[in-house]
Amino acid sequence: MWEGTLRATRAIAAASLAIASILLAAGCSGGSSSSSTAAGGSGTGSSGAAANASTATSAAGFGGMDALVAAAKKEGQLNAIALPRDWANYGVLMDNFTKKYGIKITDANPDGSSQDEVNAIKQLKGQSRAPDVVDVGGAFADSGDTSGLWAPYKVATWDSIPAAAKVDSGDYYGDYGGYIAIGYDPAKVKTAPASFKDLLNPVYKNQVAINGDPTSAGAALAAVYAAALSNGGSLDNIAPGIAYFKQLKQSGNFVPATGSAATMQSGQTPILIWWDYLLASGVKAKMPSLKIVIPSDAAYAGYYYQAISKTAPHPAAARLWEEYLYSVDGQNGFLQGFARPIELQALISAGTVDKTANAALPPAPAGELLLPTIAQQNTAKTLVTQQWPTVKG
């Protein structure tokens, strides 16, 4: 999946350090609590006839949460895509949604990328198996919006989503995120790496990988961005990150394979640069000895975004899914998967946060938090697409 970041574009203000700190720091308190109706509750709204689910922009506009739940149950199906069960606790979230509402979820291509999700929306339009909802990175959320793929919808807890993490139209909105980190197997990596600079050490020959090709996989692009920041680059200049991986490849340290829990377990990639929450939920769960460190020379954070397909075959279930994800249960579900939910501060303020899961998050790095805008991401993506072949050789 293509990792997104808080960004400033088309009705989104630039993400400030203050907002970013609220989103990514764990264990803080204070602020106003959310008073929005949770998914499954009796929402407010028109008492008249329920609106068409495919055009409803809120549960209230549909006739209330009870009406939305009833319509979604009648549909009885939700088509998701590219949601690995061990990714941010999605397996548990999907199971709990089905248990709560009796709605079956089909998760197509669970290991797919954000580009795969967008392609499926376009290619399967009008078919019963087309995706109802997507969970994509920022660049894809924005490009999909530009292409008119998303249906505007504002969940009941809309006001608890920071302004910098959503578009005013309701077309897409942040859901969870984390930091780029270095995961390593201490049984095979005897010298613990703590930074991108460390990874150039010859002792890591044939050990370092990223999660895919950065021209199409956001986790990989984020790794290149983080490397750029650690090597004199900036949010406007990802070129040093490309040069870094070229140097890492020339040194023999970089393994040009898609790093994963499987490649770490097999020993093919003892070191993996990935999101901290995915290393924790997707790898450490299978390799308890795994060590995870946020590089000391680059604190790069990113988020994913939710959107509903404008042509969703199950429009009521799609909207109920979003209500569930942004309810207390849904947001704590992400937290239990070691991801930082977008409404974390609201949960803390309201006293509804899962305190154990919150305490288990790795501490947020000190210092300035760097978050690129969508324009910066698009520029970076273009350059990486042009120059990554020189890294692969």
Residue 24: its pLDDT value, please? 58
pLDDT per position as a tens digit, 250-279 = 999 999 999 999 999 999 999 999 999 999
Domain residue spans of the chain: 19-177+302-359, 178-301+368-392
Mean pLDDT value across residues 59-69:
95
Residue 35: its pLDDT value, please? 35
Residue 293: its pLDDT value, please? 94
Are the CB atoms for 330 and 39 separated by under 8 Å? yes
- State how far the Cα of 52 lies from the Cα of 285, in Å rounded to an integer: 43
Q: How many CB atoms lie within 10 A of CB 352?
A: 18
Q: How is domain 178-301+368-392 classified at the architecture level of CATH?
A: 3-Layer(aba) Sandwich (3.40)
Residue 303: its pLDDT value, please? 86
| CATH number of the 19-177+302-359 domain | 3.40.190.10
Place of tokens 């967008």: 118
Residue 99: its pLDDT value, please? 98
Split at pLDDT 50, 70, 90, the class of 363 is: confident
Q: Is 309 helix (H, G, I), strand (E, B) or coil?
A: strand
Buried b (16+ CB within 10 A) or exposed e, 51-69: bebbebebbbbbbbbebbb
Place of tokens 């999605």: 90
pLDDT per position as a tens digit, 287-346 = 999 999 999 999 898 889 999 999 999 999 999 999 999 999 999 999 999 999 999 999
pTM over 0.75: yes
Split at pLDDT 50, 70, 90, the class of 63 is: very high
Residue 393: its pLDDT value, please? 75
Residue 349 carries which side chain, given as an amino acid letter?
A: S
Place of tokens 């003892």: 270
Split at pLDDT 50, 70, 90, the class of 392 is: confident
Answer whether residue 68 shows pLDDT above 80: yes
Split at pLDDT 50, 70, 90, the class of 368 is: low
Residue 161: its pLDDT value, please? 93
Q: Is 298 helix (H, G, I), strand (E, B) or coil?
A: coil
Are the CB atoms for 172 and 308 separated by under 8 Å? no
Assess whether the region 19-177+302-359 and the region 178-301+368-392 belong to the same CATH fold.
Answer: yes
Split at pLDDT 50, 70, 90, the class of 20 is: very low
Please name the residue ranges forming H helices in the chain: 17-24, 59-62, 65-75, 90-101, 114-123, 138-146, 218-229, 239-250, 261-266, 276-278, 315-325, 328-336, 344-350, 355-359, 374-392
